[in-house]
């Protein structure tokens, strides 16, 4: 085992050294090496970290002599889920549903009762053909759970659906270095909300609120941008409250829980129902991929304004070297995550009872069971760790990428993770594996990938190159093992 890791570590070092010289011009001047440039190393460390997290996860399953083929799809699903959970939209505080617009009587029949509708209130009707019509309330009458609003304007036609947005009257709109809208305080504006400014002629602009001060009856909301001269105080302001589906910690927690649950289902099917891991996770691969596409209508899912908040977790760096104020080199934040997870995983595997059970049952499930080990439960835990790390990886990959295309995101990541684990000394027969080895294996895969870009090898050859190198690695390992066995025989014989 130690020999294996030493072997792959040597391969990594040789590969890096060769690449460093090969990308220098002249070859001996490493200062010119494109491979050693800060950007490249940072990028490499970032990718190593993300793939390493997946690799550690799958290593646990491989140690039980199982396999998880669903990782790539699970990465995609979790990325999509994070995007969906963090979806932000802006809605009017109250936006009554319109049941009936009667043009002849100039009335609008609404579902529900609304305090904010008073004579003189400005409303904007959206829906039907007459979208974006500005109206002023003349009188309001309530009957049961329905409200009839008579408006001052003449209406063009009858409608059967749509919504009303209730506008706050703008008391003042100052434009200057910064634009400030003053509206009645009962609007309860918060930073992050938006104002839709509407002119009587139908022109609309939407602005984010960056600061709010309330004095007595008035709230002053500072807008992100100057809306321009034409939106004077004759315009109306419709407050769009910012609405984020879930808070960031909640969203992350939900995705992680979903990850753990996916593994739980895999594990139950493998240990209780006794289905083959290959089949279970192959089906899971198809299901998660398809489900991700369905959830998003096959459209890319992003993080909008939250990208700026969350993005640094996946692509940020902690500076090590600066030139003036400019960061010359920094360690990617995911690398710290990988280190932390790696240490935890190694301690779990080598220092805890559960880890020992895992290794024992991977080598001989029956002997472990006959020693009183609840092998089903331990295997279940391995599958849960695997998908939980896939969920974490999925979120990081999605944030690093800024958006998720559900049909391709994470494609064949499971194979990269499995290959890295195998390169790093995990045996698919089970019972063998080292966390450090997996990280080194991942590094080899990423350096290879980097090499293909650096040496301008056609991108189409990436997979054959990686496949060949893994094959050579495994072959070399086998040959070394046999040679060692032969040497031992000769020593014994001599």
Shortest spacing between CB 372 and other proteins, in angstroms = 4
Closest CB to other proteins among residues 68, 365: 365
Under the binding rule (CB under 8 A), the answer on residue 356 touching other proteins is yes
Separation CA 312–CA 248 (nearest Å):
14
> Which is nearest to 121 in space by CA: 136, 107, 108?
136
Structure tokens at 335: 């690398």
Binding window for other proteins (CB under 8 A); candidates: 71-79, 200-208, 349-357, 468-476: 349-357
Burial class from Cβ neighbours inside 10 Å (0-12, 13-18, 19+) for residue 346 reads middle
Question: Interface with other proteins includes 428 (CB under 8 A)?
Answer: no
Which residue, 241 or 369, is less far from other proteins as judged by CB? 369
Please report whether residue 359 would count as binding other proteins according to CB under 8 A: yes
Name the DSSP letter for residue 42: H
Q: Read out DSSP for 165-223? A: EEPEEPSEEE-SSS-EEEEEGGG---TT-EEEEE-TTS-EEEEEEEEEEEETTEEEEEE
Distant-in-sequence contacts of 354-363, Cβ < 8 A, 24+ apart: 354/378, 354/381, 358/60, 358/63, 358/64, 358/382, 359/63, 359/431, 359/432, 360/431, 361/64, 361/431, 362/63, 362/64, 362/65, 362/430, 362/431, 362/432, 363/430, 363/431, 363/432
Peptide bond into 363 cis (omega under 30): no
Residue 363 in the binding site for other proteins (CB under 8 A) = yes
Yes or no: say if 315 and 50 are a contact pair by the CB < 8 Å rule.
Answer: no
Window of 148-156, 207-215, 353-361, 460-468 that interacts with other proteins by CB under 8 A: 353-361
Note whether 2 binds other proteins by CB under 8 A: no
The pattern of x and - marking residues 368 through 397 that bind other proteins according to CB under 8 A reads: xxxxxxx-----------------------
CA 152 to chain centre: 49
Which one of the spans 3-11, 146-154, 159-167, 364-372 is the region binding other proteins (CB under 8 A)? 364-372
Q: Please, what is the minimum distance in Å from the beta carbon of residue 339 to other proteins?
A: 21
Q: Which of 431, 437, 441, 473 binds other proteins (CB under 8 A)?
A: 431
Binding mask 294-333 for other proteins (x = CB under 8 A): ----------------------------------------
Q: Please say which residue, 294 or 370, places its beta carbon nearer to other proteins.
A: 370
| 143 lies in the binding site for other proteins (CB under 8 A) | no
End-to-end CA distance of the chain: 27
Taking CB under 8 A as the rule, does residue 354 contact other proteins? yes
Of 118 and 488, CB closest to other proteins: 488
In angstroms, rounded to a whole number, what is the distance separating the alpha carbons of residues 178 and 221?
10
335 in Cβ contact with 51 (< 8 Å): no
Which CB sits closer to other proteins, 54 or 381? 381
Site string for other proteins, 452-491 (x = CB under 8 A): ---------------------------------x--xxx-
Exactly one of 76, 98, 239, 360 binds other proteins (CB under 8 A); that residue is 360
Q: How many residues bind other proteins (CB under 8 A)?
A: 27
Of 211, 321, 367, 455, which lies in the binding site for other proteins, with binding defined by CB under 8 A?
A: 367
Cα 378 → chain centroid: 29
- Regarding 77 and contact with other proteins (CB under 8 A), the answer is no
- Give me the sign of the Cα torsion angle 147, 148, 153, 158: positive
Q: How far is the CB of 358 from other proteins (least distance, A)?
A: 12
Instruction: Name the one range near other proteins by CB under 8 A: 215-223, 348-356, 451-459, 471-479.
Output: 348-356
- Beta strands in 366-484, from DSSP E residues, in sequence order: 403-404
Please, which residue, 149 or 361, has the CB nearer to other proteins? Answer: 361
Residue 76 contacts residue 293 (beta carbons within 8 Å): no
Q: Enumerate binding residues for other proteins (CB under 8 A).
A: 351-356, 359-360, 363-364, 366-374, 431-432, 485, 488-490, 492-493
């Amino acid at each position: 085992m130690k020999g294996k890791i030493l072997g792959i570590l040597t391969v990594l070092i040789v590969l890096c050294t060769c690449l460093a010289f090969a990308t220098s011009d002249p070859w001996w001047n490493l200062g010119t090496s494109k491979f050693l440039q800060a950007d490249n190393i940072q990028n490499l460390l970032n990718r190593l970290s993300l793939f390493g997290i997946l690799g550690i996860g799958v290593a646990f399953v491989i140690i039980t002599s199982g396999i998880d083929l669903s990782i790539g799809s699970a990465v995609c699903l979790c990325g999509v889920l994070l995007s969906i959970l963090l979806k932000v939209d802006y809605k009017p505080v109250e936006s009554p549903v319109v049941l009936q617009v009667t043009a002849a009587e100039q009335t609008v029949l609404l579902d529900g009762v609304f305090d904010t509708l008073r004579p003189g209130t400005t409303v904007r009707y959206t829906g039907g053909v007459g979208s974006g019509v500005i109206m002023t309330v003349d009188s309001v009458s309530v009957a049961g759970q329905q409200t009839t609003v008579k408006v001052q304007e003449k209406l063009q036609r009858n409608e059967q659906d749509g919504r009303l947005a209730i506008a706050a009257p703008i008391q003042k709109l100052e434009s200057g270095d910064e634009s400030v809208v003053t509206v009645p305080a009962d609007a309860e504006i918060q930073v992050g909300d938006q104002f839709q400014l509407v002119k009587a002629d139908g022109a609309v602009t939407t602005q984010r609120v960056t600061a709010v001060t309330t004095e007595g009856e008035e709230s002053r909301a500072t807008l992100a941008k100057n809306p321009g001269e034409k939106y004077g105080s004759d315009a109306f302001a419709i407050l769009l409250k910012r609405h984020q589906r879930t808070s960031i910690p909640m969203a992350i927690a939900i995705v992680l829980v979903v990850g753990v649950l996916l593994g739980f289902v895999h594990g139950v099917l493998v240990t209780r129902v006794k289905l083959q891991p290959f089949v279970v996770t192959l089906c899971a691969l198809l299901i998660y991929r398809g489900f991700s596409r369905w959830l998003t209508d096959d459209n890319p899912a992003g993080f909008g304004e939250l990208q700026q908040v969350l993005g640094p977790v996946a692509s940020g760096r902690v500076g090590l070297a600066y030139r003036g104020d400019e960061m010359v080199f920094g360690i990617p934040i995911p690398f710290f995550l990988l280190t932390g997870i790696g240490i935890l995983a190694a301690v779990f595997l080598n220092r805890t009872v559960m880890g020992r059970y895992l290794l024992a049952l991977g080598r001989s499930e029956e002997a472990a069971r006959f020693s009183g080990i609840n092998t089903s439960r331990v295997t279940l835990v391995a599958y849960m760790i695997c998908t939980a790390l896939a969920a974490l990886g999925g979120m990081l990959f999605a944030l690093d990428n800024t958006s998720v295309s559900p049909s391709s995101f994470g494609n064949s990541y499971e194979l990269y993770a499995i290959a890295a684990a195998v390169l790093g000394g995990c045996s698919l027969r089970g019972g063998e594996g080292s966390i450090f080895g997996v990280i080194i294996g991942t590094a080899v895969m990423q350096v290879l990938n980097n090499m293909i870009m650096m040496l301008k090898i056609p991108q189409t050859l990436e997979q054959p190159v990686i496949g060949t190198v893994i094959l050579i690695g495994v072959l070399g390992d086998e040959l070394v093992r046999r040679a060692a066995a032969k040497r031992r025989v000769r020593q014994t014989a001599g």
